[in-house]
Amino acid sequence: MRGSGARSRFMHILLVFVLSFSVVPALAVGVTPAPAVRLGGAPIKAPQGVPVDAAGHPYVEGEVLVKFSAGVSATSVSEAHKKLGATVIAKSEGVPGLQKARVPKGLSADAAARRYREMPGVAYAQPNYLHSITAMPDDPRLPELWGMNNEGQTGGLEDADIDAPAAWDTQTGSSDVVVAVIDTGVDYRHPDLADNMWVNAGEIAGNGIDDDENGYVDDVYGYDFYNYDGDPLDDHSHGTHCSGTIGGVGDNGIGVAGVAWDVRIMALKFLSADGFGDTWAAVEAINYADMMGADIMSNSWGGGPWEQVLYDAIANTDVLFVAAAGNDSMDADSFGFYPSGYDLPNIVSVGATDHNDELAWFSNWGQTTVDVFAPGDEVLSTVAGPAPSFMPKVTNQLSVSACDNAADWDLTSYVKLPWKVSSDWYSSEPAALVAMQYKNDEDAWARLNAPVDLSGMTDPVLRFQAIYETEAGFDFLNAWASNDGVAWTKVAERSGYSGGMVTVDADLGAFAGDSTVYLAFSLSSDDSIDSKFGHLGAMVDDVEVVELASFLREDFSDLSAWDADDYAVTPWALTSKWVVSAPSAAGVIGYGDNERSLLKLADPMDLSAVTGDISALFKAFYETEPNVDFLSVLASTDGTNWTTLSSFSGFSGEWEPGFVPVSANLSAYAGEPSVYLAFMFESDMSVSSDVGLTGVAVDDLTVVEGTWSEADYSDAYALFSGTSMATPHVSGIAALVLSQWPDATTADLKNAIMLSADKLPQLDGRCVSGGRANAAAALGDVFAPVVTDDNAGSYTGVAEIALTATDDSGVASISYAFDGASPTTVGEASTVAIMKIPAKSHTLTYWAEDTLGNVSEPVTVEFELLRGTPRSESVAGSNRYATSVAASQKSYPDGASTVVIATGRNWPDALGGTALAGVVDGPILLTDPARMPAVVLAEVERLDPSRVYVLGSQSAVGSYVIGQIMDTITSGTLTRLSGANRYETAEAIAAEVIALSPEYDGTVLVATGANYPDALAAAPLAAHKGWPVVLANPSGATDIPEEASSAVILGGPGAVSSSMEAALRGRLGEANVQRKGGVDRYETAAIVAAYGISNGLHWDGVGIATGVSFADALSGGVMLGRQHSPMLLTDPNVLSAAVRGPLWVNKKSIQTVQFIGGTSAVSTAVRSQVMRAIQ
C-alpha cells in the first residue's frame, strides 16, 4: 500500500548486460534467518501461593497450553489429553492447533507440559505463564506533560521530548485509526477518554447477546479476558494511564491530551487489579484485536520466559505490536525480556528516558532487542476514576460513632499491633479508626463499647466509610455484629484495594428489632505478605446504622418466594457451602452441559411509587467456563419477556473464586406496577463441573431505592513511571503516522518511528535506532520508493534493463543483485557499468532507498540472455598517449572526479597505478615526461577532475607537465606519489591504495620489478579488486604493506624467486600465499586471467594487448577492470597457443573482444585468429 500524492522525483538506471560464459553461483537472494537465541527472560515476582517453574516463572495452577502440529488427527489429540487425564477448556482461534487444557490435581502444569512435549504430534507445550505490568506508579505532581513538550518545567533538559506540538500542527489523529490497549482495561467513562473510545457498532450493550456473532457477548468497548466478560473496565489504572498518553481527548478544556488525540482506543483487559495476567488471556486479547480490526496494539507489560505460543500469536498478525522493554535496569540483549524481545518485524520495543533525555534509571536497554526510547519517567496521564455509585435512600438513621474518640472503643484485642484513633487518616475530621502497617498473622479487633438499640428498625444496615489496602484474598477488613458481645456474626468482609474512600453497607437484617446489638471491626492477615510489601492496612470512620427504602430483601434461607421450575438440566437450589449469610444461598452447583436454569421471583414487585433510581444489590459467586457459561440477572414486566441487566462469566475472585458485590440498575423500571426479577444460568456443551468448575450462586439480595451518582474525575490523573509509560508515546506516534498516511503498512509505521528518532549519544549502542522517538519527524514521508517490475523477457547479445524508482522525498539509491550475487548500489547515475553474464536464464533482484531511509521491498524478475554474433572493438589512438585517451573516453564518457597521470616513456613508476585508478574510479593517462601531449591535455580538461595523482619523480613527470595540469583543471588538488626508486614508488602507491580502501581485504599482487609483463597481465584484476601491486627486488629486500594478509605472486620463479615466496609464506602463512605463473609472459597472462574470472571478472569483453610494450596494456587494463573483463597478452604478429586455448574454451561466454592499441600493437592477422577462435 502506498500513500497519496505524485512521486515528484525519480531515478532511472539503465543496466547493460553482455553475455559471458563464466558461471555465476546461484546463491539465494533471500536467506532464511537462523533461529533466534532464546534467552531465559527475567522472572516476574510471583503472587502469593502461585506455583513457579524451575526458573522461577509463575503460572496458572493446573493449566497447560499445548499446540499440536498441522495434520494431527482429532483422535490423536484426544488420546494425548487422555494419557494425562487432561481436559480441553479452550481452543485458540488465532493460533491454529493451540489448546488450553486443565490437568488433574496432583500433576503440576510444569510437569504436564514436559510430558506433552514428549508426545508425537505436539509442536510445543508450556504452563499458562503469568505476565505483569511494567510501570512503577508515583505520587501525583504538577500536571505537566514534559514528554510531549519539554520546556524545562520539571527541571529537565529543554526539548528532551517527542515534539508533539510540532506534530499537532500537521496531524492530531483520526477516528479511523484504532489502537488496542492490551492491559488492565480502560476506564471508558473518563471524560478525557470517553469520546475517543472505540465502539463495536455491531454489538448492543447489555442485552446478553452476541449480536455481531464474533464469539463475544456485549463487547461494546472491547473485552475483559481476565474475567471473561464484555466489560473491560480498568480496576488498576495502568491501562487507563497508557490510554491517556496514546489518545486522551485533546482541545476539550480539561485534563491532558494524548499524542494522537483524535484516535480511537479499543479496551482489552487481560491483567488483573494486581497487574497480573496469563499467557492464554494475552493471546486471546491479541487475537481479538486482530480480528476486530485494530491498527496498532499497545502492550505495556511483559516478563517471564521465551514462549512459543506468545511468539506465534504476535507473528500471526501483521498489526504493529508496540511493547515495553521492561524495568529491570538490565541489558535485554543478554538476559531477554518478552514479548518486546521477540525478533519479529512487527514489534517495536520501547525503552524509557527521563526529562534530561537520559536513559531512565529503571529502563532496560539492548542494542538489538530495544528499538527506540521515549519519555517514561514521571509521566502524567489519566487514571481510573471512582465507579458511578449507587447510594440507597435512607428512611431512618442512627449515628453510632464518629470514630474520633478512642474511649468509645475496646482496642485491647490484637496479636501484634492494635487499632488506634489517628488523625492521619479520616473521612470526617478530626480522626478515624486505623489499623495501618499491619504484620503477618494479625487479628486485631475494635469493639464498640456501648451496644446500639435497633428495636425501632425493621430493615437495618450498618454503614461506614472505609479505606482498605491488603493482600487480596488473604488479608481482610471485617465488620461484625453480636447480641451479647461474645458470639459474633460477620456482616461484611473486604480485601484487596478500595481505590480510596468507599462506603460499605452491611446487612443487619438478622438483628432487626433487637434492643442490644454490639458492633465491631477486625483486621486479619495470614503469614505471607504484610505491609512491608506496600499493603497499608485499613481505616474505618463515620459508623452509623440506617434503614433503607427497600422493596425486596432476600437472604435465601429458603426459596419460598422464588420459582425454580424453568430449567433444562439442573434447577436452582439452596447451597450451604457457597454462602455469604448463613444458612444458605441460591445456586446452580455442579452443573452440566447445556444448562439453562432460571430462578424467577414468583410475585412481581410494585415499583409504581418509585420516581428516581432503584437497583438490585446482591452478592454473586461464579466459577464457569470463561466467555461460554454465564450468570445473568434479568428483569421483566410480564415474567415472560426478559431484559438482561448484567452478565458474568469466568471467576469471581482474583486467584480463587469468591462472592463479589453486584449492583444491577433497575431504574428503567421505576414507576412500573409489576416488575419481575430473575437469575439465569446458561452453559454450552463443552466444559462443565466435571473438570472442576463449581457453578454459580447468589446471596443477600436487596432491591432498594436510591440515587446513582456520576463519578468525580477531577482528580483522576497521576504521574506514573516505567517503560509502560514510554510505550504509549510510541503507540501514539504510530497512530499519528497512520492518520497522516492511511495506506502505510506495518513496515512503513515501524520505519517512520525508527528512522525519525532523535539520535542521542547517550542512547548510542543502547537501542537499534540509537535515539528517542520524535512525533513531528515521524510524520514525514514513510513510504518506500516504488520500483518498476517490467523487465522480464529475452535479450540477444546485450540485455538493456532499465531500473526506475519514484518517491515523494526523492530516491537516494537503487541496488541490484544478479543470480544471488552480492548487490551493487548506484546513486544518481543514469547508466551503470556494463556487467557480463553467461547466455542463459538469469534472475535480477533490485530495490531502492529514498532520502529518508525508507527501503522498498525487493523486486525479482527472470530474463533470458541469448548469444549473438561475436564482435570486436578497437580501443586505439595514433600513439600510446592517444590510446590512453581512447580508453579513458570509453570508460568515462561523462567525466571523472579523479585522474591518474603516469609517464608513457618507461614502465616502473606506472605499474602500481592500475590499483590506484581502480580505487579512485578514474583513468590512467600517459604523458611525455617533459610536456603533456595536446590530446592528453584536452582529455584532462574534458574529464574536469577535482583530484589528480601523478606517479613517479620529476624524471618521470616533469614540473612543466605539473604546470600544464594545474592550468587546465579549474580547481582541486594534485598529489605526487614517488620514491627514491621504482620499489619505493610502488610502496607509496600501495600505501595510498590501502588508505583509500576502507574495505581492503588484505591481498597484494607481487610482481618482479625487473620487467613489466606479469604485472600488466594483472592490471584488470588490480583495478577491479583494488589490490595494490608490490614490486619484488631481485637484488634486495622487498617490503610489503603491514596491512597485507595474503599475497598472489605473478610469474614463475624466474620472475619472483622461490626465496621471496618462502619469505612471504613465513610472514603471511603457508595457506595465504599462491603463485600464478606460466612458462612465458603469455601463459602467465592466461593463468592470471582465469584467476580473475574466479574473483569477479567475466570473459565477455576480454581485452587483447601486446606483450612486448607496456603502455597500451597499462591504460587498457584499467578500462577492462572497470568493465570486469580480463586481459590476454599476445605477440603482435603470432597468436600463441596459451592465448588461443582460453578463447576457444570460453567462446560461448564471449560476445565482444576488445583490441587495445593499433594494428602495430596487435596485427590484423592476430585479430583474425582471435575472432576465428571464438566463432
The per-residue pLDDT for range 1159-1174, each reduced to its tens digit, is: 998 999 999 999 998 8
| Residue 44: band (very low, low, confident or very high) from pLDDT cuts 50, 70, 90 | low
φ, ψ dihedrals at 718, nearest 5°:
-155, 160
Confirm if 1004 and 1048 have CB atoms less than 8 A apart.
yes
CATH architecture of 139-384+716-775: 3-Layer(aba) Sandwich (3.40)
Q: What pLDDT is attached to residue 25?
A: 25
What b/e sequence results for 905-935 when a residue is b if at least 16 CB atoms lie within 10 Å of its CB, and e otherwise? bbbbbbbbbbbbbbbbebbbbbbbbeebbeb
394-410+426-548 to CATH, choices 2.60.120.260, 3.10.450.50, 2.120.10.30, 1.10.1200.10: 2.60.120.260
Confirm if 749 and 780 have CB atoms less than 8 A apart.
no
Range in 73-87, 96-110, 486-500 with the lowest mean pLDDT: 486-500
Grid cell 494524548 in the structure block, residue: 258
In percent, the amount of the chain with pLDDT more than 70 equals: 89
| Strand 717-722, strand 379-382: pairing | antiparallel
**248 pLDDT above the threshold of 90:** yes
Q: Cell for 1087?
A: 593463468
Residue range 571-587: average pLDDT? Answer: 88
φ, ψ dihedrals at 723, nearest 5°:
-65, -20
Select the highest-mean-pLDDT range: 287-296, 436-445, 611-620, 684-693.
287-296
Class of domain 9-32+784-866: mainly beta
Residue range 779-807: average pLDDT? Answer: 66
Residue range 125-135: average pLDDT? Answer: 77
Question: How far apart are alpha carbons 375 and 161 in whole angstroms?
Answer: 7
Residue range 166-179: average pLDDT? Answer: 92
**799 pLDDT above the threshold of 70:** no
**Half-sphere CA count of 846, side-chain side, radius 13 A:** 27
Which residues have CB under 8 Å from 819's CB, separation 6+?
24, 25, 26, 27, 837, 842, 843
Distances (CA, A) of 542 to 407, 409, 429, 485, 598: 15, 14, 10, 21, 40
Taking CA 962 as the corner, what is the angle to CA 961 and CA 967, rounded to the nearest 5 degrees? 100
| Residue 234: band (very low, low, confident or very high) from pLDDT cuts 50, 70, 90 | very high
**295 pLDDT above the threshold of 80:** yes
Distances (CA, A) of 1 to 582, 598, 742, 1143: 65, 53, 9, 51
Q: What pLDDT is attached to residue 669?
A: 95
Q: What pLDDT is attached to residue 796?
A: 59
Confirm if 257 and 251 have CB atoms less than 8 A apart.
yes
Cα-to-chain-centroid distance, residue 738 = 16
Mean residue pLDDT across the chain:
86
Question: Looking at this protein, which amino acid is placed at residue 508?
Answer: L
| Residue 809: band (very low, low, confident or very high) from pLDDT cuts 50, 70, 90 | low
Q: What pLDDT is attached to residue 1170?
A: 93
In percent, the amount of the chain with pLDDT more than 90 equals: 54
**What DSSP letter does each residue of 174-189 carry, written as one string?**
-TT-EEEEEES---TT
Alpha helix ranges (H) inside 756-868: 775-778
Q: What pLDDT is attached to residue 820?
A: 78
Q: What pLDDT is attached to residue 17?
A: 38
Grid cell 583509500 in the structure block, residue: 996
Q: For residue range 711-737, what is the model confidence (pLDDT) as tens digits?
A: 888 888 989 999 999 999 999 999 999
Confirm if 1076 and 1004 have CB atoms less than 8 A apart.
no
| Residue 937: band (very low, low, confident or very high) from pLDDT cuts 50, 70, 90 | very high
Range in 32-41, 80-89, 138-147, 999-1008 with the lowest mean pLDDT: 32-41
Question: How far apart are alpha carbons 1111 and 486 in whole angstroms?
Answer: 120
Least Cα distance to 145 among 128, 167, 164 occurs for 164
**831 pLDDT above the threshold of 60:** no
Q: What pLDDT is attached to residue 838?
A: 61
Residue range 370-389: average pLDDT? Answer: 91
Q: What pLDDT is attached to residue 5?
A: 32
Taking CA 806 as the corner, what is the angle to CA 803 and CA 809, rounded to the nearest 5 degrees? 140
Residue range 657-673: average pLDDT? Answer: 87
What's 514's DSSP letter?
A: -
| Residue 692: band (very low, low, confident or very high) from pLDDT cuts 50, 70, 90 | low
**What DSSP letter does each residue of 527-539 carry, written as one string?**
SS--GGGT--EEE
Range in 286-295, 465-474, 1118-1127 with the lowest mean pLDDT: 465-474
Omega into 430 within 30° of 0, i.e. cis? yes
| Residue 653: band (very low, low, confident or very high) from pLDDT cuts 50, 70, 90 | low
What b/e sequence results for 860-881 when a residue is b if at least 16 CB atoms lie within 10 Å of its CB, and e otherwise? ebebebebeebeeeebbbebbb
Of 994 and 1, the one with more pLDDT = 994
Question: Domain spans of the chain?
Answer: 9-32+784-866, 59-133, 139-384+716-775, 394-410+426-548, 552-589+612-631+644-668+680-703, 871-1174
Range in 215-219, 1050-1054, 1111-1115 with the lowest mean pLDDT: 1111-1115
Question: Looking at this protein, which amino acid is placed at residue 940?
Answer: V
Question: How far apart are alpha carbons 877 and 893 in whole angstroms?
Answer: 16
59-133 CATH fold: Alpha-Beta Plaits (3.30.70)
Question: 313: helix, coil or strand?
Answer: helix
Q: For residue range 1088-1097, what is the model confidence (pLDDT) as tens digits?
A: 999 999 998 9
